[in-house]
Structure 1
Amino acid sequence: MTRFEIDTLTHGDVESIRLRGHLVLGQPIDDLRQKMDNLASHGESQFVFDLEEVSRIDSSGVGVLVRILTSSKEAGGSLKLVNPSRHVTQVLQMCCVLPLFELFSDEQQAIASFSQT
């Protein structure tokens, strides 16, 4: 099984989160939910997810991304996606949720976009 990793960097009011591995039902989803709940409990609501190294995503992974987007918007922020892999993009399209997300090819552009809104 591919190991799932979450790395977080803070850029001012924006949390940049790099995900690696399989974002699928089970421990990966549980780990991401726990991480995001912890960040939200500290008032964080502006997130950039770098998905370039997510090699697999299932419907649970899609669901958790939509949940994070929804909860961050309710808190006055958003979730922006950077470099989703081809597989991730295809799955988000198949699930008809790709238009919900702002997509960027560059992390710094995604971070800067928060100050433009």
Structure 2
Amino acid sequence: TSGSTGRPKGVLVPHANVTALVDAVRDDFALSPDDAWTCFHSAAFDFSVWEIWGALLTGARLVVVDHWTSRHPEDFHALLARERVSVLSQTPSAFTLLAAADRTGGKLPALRLVVLGG
């Protein structure tokens, strides 16, 4: 996180905090090994902790989104359909672009949960 200094610095996230995050929502979100999650965000962005560990701690499949695809909403939409992604994490601005692609890209029948943050 850079805060107001503009100089990036790491922040330690204890293992217990990561498992507590997933355990807190596992039942409410019905997270299961049948899910497919995306790893859309850079590992330098804290949202990636949720994406990576959410999938791993629930036995789900993790679809790693390459940089090119993450920057082209139509290609990302096609990946979501092809990989049958069911759990998607997005920033509101990225989701707005994806929603525009969704209007022309067809349905995403597997998608059941969208988590917004960042």
| Length-normalised TM-score, structure 1 | 0.33
| Length-normalised TM-score, structure 2 | 0.33
Between Structure 1 and Structure 2, whose CA radius of gyration is higher? 2
Structure with bigger strand share is 1
